[in-house]
Amino acid sequence: MSNTNPETGHTVTLEEARRVLAAGHAKAEEIGQPMNIAVVCAGGHLLAFERMHNAWTGSVDIAIKKAWTSRAFDIETGELGKLSQSGDQFFGIHASNDGKVMIFAGGVPLMREGKIIGAVGVSGGLGKQDQAVAEAAAAVIN
């Protein structure tokens, strides 16, 4: 993937990524769950990252991979997880890309004017908590 969306030539800016992190941080504090929050550009490359105090170190890699997965497949990771259950059309996708694909909630594409410009990935809590933080983070752009 290039650093920009090939359809639009656009990507999330560093300033926007910082706003995404701040919104995610605020939501994580609101629900009382420290999180790791990653933002990737339209090319799927890490642009910004925050590990909140006491967030699990094991979730750092997961947050980054959720953001990458969401951008690589232009889908929320929780939705991809639903489509990748045994017998479904994407069963086994999590084993692709050297195991980089995450298939549980917390990865959300970032959209501007209806076009994907990057993604946010969140990890550190239950799936519904990760998803809530990711949605709040993405909402500052979407």
* Rounded distance between C-alpha atoms, residue 45 and residue 42, angstroms: 8
With respect to residue 118, please indicate whether it lies within any of the assigned structural domains. yes
Beta bridge partners of 36: 51, 123
Provide the domain count of the chain. 1
With respect to residue 21, please indicate whether it lies within any of the assigned structural domains. yes
- Model confidence pLDDT, tens digit, residues 53-83: 999 999 999 999 999 999 999 999 999 888 7
With respect to residue 116, please indicate whether it lies within any of the assigned structural domains. yes
Residues for the chain: how many in total? 142
With respect to residue 6, please indicate whether it lies within any of the assigned structural domains. no
With respect to residue 120, please indicate whether it lies within any of the assigned structural domains. yes
With respect to residue 9, please indicate whether it lies within any of the assigned structural domains. no
Q: How far is CA 132 from CA 20, 43, 55, 72, 78, in A?
A: 13, 24, 16, 21, 11
Query: What's residue 129's pLDDT?
Result: 98
* Rounded distance between C-alpha atoms, residue 44 and residue 54, angstroms: 26
Q: Write the CATH number for 75.
A: 3.30.450.150
- Average confidence (pLDDT) per 10 residues, the chain, 142 residues: 56 96 98 98 97 97 97 93 77 75 94 95 97 98 82
pTM of the predicted model, to two decimals? Answer: 0.90
Residue 61 structural domain:
14-138
